[in-house]
Homo-oligomer: A and B are copies of this chain.
């Protein structure tokens, strides 16, 4: 186990260990059983856990999520896969109206996990590259997590499965097999708490607040800034709902300059919410406007040069950070 593993392998391990630990945990989704999932996240699960706990379903996302909700009401711990997270749109109603509101309405928790590959950078085009987080971040009753490291990928899937509330778990497909983020994972059982951000890099002059795959660009930009004498702090949110407002406040107060970086599109993206939180909690500490680097307001394009233009990258982060630092 002392080998470094991929982000995908970390998710797989997390799922596997939870399936071993708790027989209430089961999975359902399209092509997750026989095939082991479009990205092979659930490879070998059918063989180990049997077809009662690793269920290949018809193509019916609303049905899948609905069935997960029903099973969770019975005390089970269903993990529903969306083959690509883009297809979660078909289950929007079950998630936002049934799952999110049941506890509040009459006290019935819905401990389900909905997971799937999100994000761009793999030439997937507009329907295989989406970042749907804000649709769910804006829905009270849900939790939304988006791990950006291999360690967190495992710790958060485990936390999500053990959580009493419905969790949307966004795994970034660009990170699945990225050598750069391979990591040796702890031998022992661990979870990463939902709702807690992590400071990936300490800094004094400017804060880069981010999550998911964008973290790598932020770290690269921070590295470059360092050479220019600017000390950048990098905060990885990890959870988008509930946001770790204390961590956001702390870094804003510490550096007085905040740049938010997300892959999701701009208008209505989480950067706005964070900007509001900072205004409310740390306005007097600000030495410049809270700014953001995001994807532009358009669907995710397919063609390589277009997608490269579209997505945030280290150069764009660096450029904005430099200007903000000089502000």
Check: A291 CB closer than 8 A to any chain B CB. Answer: yes
Answer whether A134 and B126 are a contact pair too, CB < 8 Å, given A104-B299, A272-B273, A276-B290.
no
Q: Which A192-213 residues have C-beta < 8 A from chain B?
A: none
Question: Which of these, B86, B286, B291, B299, contacts A140 with CB under 8 Å?
Answer: B299
Number of copies of this kind of chain in the complex: 2
Which residues in window 275-292 of A have CB below 8 A to B?
275-276, 279-280, 283, 286, 288-292
A69 at interface, CB cutoff 8 A: no
- Which residue of B is nearest A86, CB measured? B97
Q: Which residues of B contact A291 (CB under 8 A)?
A: 279-280
Cβ of A134: which chain B residues have Cβ within 8 Å of it? Answer: 134, 138, 268
Q: Which residues of B contact A326 (CB under 8 A)?
A: none
Residue of B nearest to A297 (CB): B140
A309 within 8 A of B: no
**Bound-state Cα–Cα, A291 to B280, Å:** 6
A89 at the interface (CB under 8 A from B): yes
Q: Chain B nearest CB: distance from A119 CB in Å? A: 16
Residues of chain A having any CB pair with chain B under 8 Å: 86, 89-90, 92-93, 96-97, 100-101, 104-105, 126-127, 134-135, 137-138, 140-141, 241-243, 265, 267-276, 279-280, 283, 286, 288-292, 297-299
Interface centre among A96, A104, A286 (most CB of B within 10 A): A96
| Cross-chain contact B89 with A298 (CB below 8 angstroms) | no
B267 x A138 contact (CB < 8 A): yes
Is A273 a contact partner of B280 (Cβ separation < 8 A)?
A: no
10 of the cross-chain contacts (CB-CB < 8 Å) are A89-B93, A90-B93, A138-B138, A138-B265, A268-B268, A268-B272, A268-B273, A275-B276, A279-B289, A283-B289
Report yes or no: B92 in contact with A89, Cβ–Cβ below 8 A.
yes
